[in-house]
Amino acid sequence: MIELSVVNKTYLVGEAPLRALRDVNMTIGAGEYLSVMGPSGSGKSTLLNMIGLLDRPDSGSYCLDGVATETLGEEPRARLRADYIGFIFQAFHLINRLTTLENVELPMMLGGIAPKQRRQNALAVLEQVGLADRAGHRPGQLSGGQLQRVAIARAIVMKPRILLADEPTGNLDQASGNEVVEVLENLNREGITLLVVTHDANLGKRAKRRIRMVDGQIESDTGDDNVAAGSTAL
Asked if residue 46 is part of any domain, the answer here is yes
pLDDT > 90: percent of the chain = 87
Q: What is the pLDDT of residues 16-72, one digit of tens each?
A: 999 999 999 999 999 999 999 999 999 999 999 999 999 999 999 999 999 999 889
Query: In this predicted model, what pLDDT tens digit does every residue of 153-186 receive, in sequence order?
Result: 999 999 999 999 999 998 899 999 999 999 999 9
Residue 67 counted as domain residue:
yes
Per the prediction, the chain carries an average pLDDT of 92
Q: Is the pLDDT of residue 234 over 50?
A: no
DSSP letters, the chain, are -EEEEEEEEEEEETTEEEEEEEEEEEEE-TT-EEEEE-STTSSHHHHHHHHTTSS--SEEEEEETTEE-TT--HHHHHHHHHHHEEEEETT----TTS-HHHHHHHHHHHTT--HHHHHHHHHHHHHHTT-GGGTT--GGGS-HHHHHHHHHHHHHTT--SEEEEESTTTTS-HHHHHHHHHHHHHHHHTT-EEEEE-S-HHHHHHSSEEEEEETTEEEEEEEGGGGGG-PPP-
Poorest-confidence range of 59-63, 70-74, 82-86, 230-234?
230-234
The pLDDT value recorded for residue 232 is 33
| Mean pLDDT across 104-129 | 94
Is 187 in contact with 161 (CB distance < 8 Å)?
no
pLDDT band at residue 113 using 50, 70 and 90 as cut-offs: very high
pLDDT of 231 above 80 = no
Residue 229 — very low, low, confident or very high, per pLDDT cuts 50/70/90?
A: very low
CATH number of the domain to which 120 belongs: 3.40.50.300
Q: What is the model's pLDDT at position 148?
A: 93
Please state the rounded mean pLDDT for residues 96-118: 94
Mean pLDDT, rounded, for 214-219: 96
**pLDDT score recorded for residue 63:** 96
Q: State mean pLDDT over 79-95.
A: 92
What domain range includes position 20? 2-229
Number of domains in the chain: 1
In a domain, 190, yes or no: yes
Residue 234 lies in a domain: no
Q: What's residue 80's pLDDT?
A: 94
Averaged pLDDT for residues 201-212: 95
Name the pLDDT band for 225 (thresholds 50, 70, 90): low
Is 23 among the domain residues?
A: yes
Q: What confidence category does residue 223 fall into, taking pLDDT thresholds of 50, 70 and 90?
A: confident
Query: For residue 111, what pLDDT band results from cuts at 50, 70 and 90?
Result: confident
Whether residue 1 is predicted with pLDDT greater than 60 in this model: the reply is yes
pTM: 0.90
